[in-house]
């Protein structure tokens, strides 16, 4: 069995506090018609983690006002899985333990496509990359968050983390994410974040606090669904 899950009372308090007046979707979003259920589409985001004497920081950017999903919100690079992601090659595979946790709730083909998608989105949105084809062995699967039902746009998003040393290239945003930079985690948590983003940052802090061996032997993953944190 892996390390004891880090769903502490503090995390539950953070989630409860963040829930007040906060939604993981735009405040202006309208509920989907009751007769048409919106399926949460597979998506993936990547937290590029920078470690320095000033403390940990993570790459984030502000989604433009024209976006239908989370406009004017600070997010991580990422997006939905494309059909081509199922066919794209990788230079190195995901670590077996990471793949095993992904496959608890995703078929093998989707698990691989999620990792490919996150590498593709990173390059498209930031100019940084994991190589061509991408090396996936440096990725760790951090957590999952599902947009609540009843909303017009929904995602079933997996969040990965990678050390800054594992990425290459020059940071140059495509325009999809504004104010793209490494945000100190403490600074980011003071901003007006949606619940899902705050949840992911809290999970990143818990992940950093784990011994490296404990990270590698984890068997369960936190998931935010219907504003509730569970483990799978």
Neighbours of 145 (CB within 10 A): 25
Q: What whole-number distance in Å separates Cα of residue 104 and Cα of residue 31?
A: 30
Give the pair of three-digit tokens for residue 166.
């594992």
Three-state DSSP state, 120 = helix
Report the percent of the chain where pLDDT is more than 90: 71
Q: Going from the N-terminus, what domains does the chain have, and what CATH number goes with each?
A: 9-24+36-231 (3.90.79.10)
First vs last Cα of the chain: how many Å apart?
13
How confident is the model at residue 175, as a pLDDT? Answer: 72
Picking from 12-21, 46-55, 100-109, 172-181, which range would have the lowest pLDDT averaged per residue?
12-21
Residues pairing with 157 in the sheet: 43, 145
**Phi then psi for 161, rounded to 5 degrees?**
-130, 145
Question: Each residue of 179-202: pLDDT tens digit?
Answer: 899 999 999 999 989 999 999 999
Q: Which of 12-16, 23-27, 74-78, 104-108 has the lowest mean pLDDT?
A: 23-27
pLDDT band at 68 (very low <50, low <70, confident <90, very high): low
CA distances from 88 to 51, 55, 112, 203 (A): 30, 35, 9, 29
User: What is the pLDDT averaged over residues 149-169?
Assistant: 95
Cα–Cα dist 118/114, whole Å: 6
DSSP code string of 208-220:
HHS-HHHHHT---
pLDDT digits (tens, 9 = 90+) for 121-155: 999 999 999 999 999 999 999 999 999 888 888 99
d(CA 203, CA 209): 10
Residue 8 has pLDDT above 70, yes or no: no
């Amino acid at each position: 069995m892996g390390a004891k899950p880090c769903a502490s009372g503090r995390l539950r308090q953070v989630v409860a506090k963040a829930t007040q007046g906060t939604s993981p979707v735009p405040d202006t979003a309208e509920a989907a018609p009751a007769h048409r259920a919106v399926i949460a589409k597979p998506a993936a985001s990547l937290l590029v983690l920078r470690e320095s004497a000033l403390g940990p920081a993570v790459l984030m950017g502000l989604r433009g006002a024209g976006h239908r999903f989370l406009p004017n919100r600070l997010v991580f690079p990422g997006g939905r899985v494309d059909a081509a992601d199922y066919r794209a090659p990788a230079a190195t595979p995901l670590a077996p333990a990471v793949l095993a946790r992904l496959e608890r709730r995703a078929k093998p083909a989707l698990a691989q496509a999620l990792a490919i998608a996150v590498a593709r989105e990173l390059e498209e949105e930031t100019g940084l990359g994991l190589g061509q084809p991408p090396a996936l062995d440096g990725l760790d699967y951090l957590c999952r968050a599902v947009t609540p039902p009843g909303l017009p746009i929904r995602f079933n998003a997996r969040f990965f983390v990678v050390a800054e040393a594992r990425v290459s290239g020059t940071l140059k945003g495509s325009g999809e994410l504004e104010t793209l930079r490494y945000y100190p985690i403490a600074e980011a948590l003071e901003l007006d974040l949606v619940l899902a983003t705050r949840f992911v940052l809290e999970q990143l802090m818990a992940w950093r606090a784990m011994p490296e061996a404990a990270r590698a032997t984890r068997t369960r993953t936190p998931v935010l669904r219907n504003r509730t944190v569970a483990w799978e």
